[in-house]
């Protein structure tokens, strides 16, 4: 494939609506680069624990702790 992905991420808390990372793909083929960056970003967002908390009153509130089940929600059988 001959493509490379490079990225850098901010250290510490990042305010809402502020970019926290930058990523780039280097590839001789445009289609390969587009597919690779899409796959990389989706994987990073889904698996990087740094995306999973808010800061409120100086405390980190993790997404799992602030989430509550809603009555009637979920997959239909």
| Domains of the chain by residue range | 4-66
Which pLDDT value is given to residue 68?
66
Residue 36 tokens read as 């690779």
- DSSP 8-state code for residue 17: T
Residues contacting residue 51 through CB under 8 Å, at least 6 positions apart: 45
Residue 15 tokens read as 């305010």
List, in sequence order, every residue forming a beta bridge with 55; answer none if it has no partner. 60
Asked whether the beta carbons of 50 and 36 are under 8 A apart, the reply is no
Which pLDDT value is given to residue 77?
42
Percent of the chain residues topping a pLDDT of 70:
75
Extract the residue ranges of the chain whose pLDDT is less than 70.
1, 49-52, 64-77
Q: Does the global pTM surpass 0.75? A: no
């Amino acid at each position: 494939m001959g493509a490379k992905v490079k990225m850098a991420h901010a250290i510490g808390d990042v305010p809402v609506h502020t970019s926290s990372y930058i990523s780039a793909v280097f590839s001789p083929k445009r289609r390969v680069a587009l597919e690779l960056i899409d796959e990389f970003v989706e994987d990073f967002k889904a698996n990087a624990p740094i995306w999973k908390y808010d800061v409120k009153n100086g405390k980190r509130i993790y997404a799992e702790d602030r989430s509550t089940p809603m009555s009637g929600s979920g997959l239909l059988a």
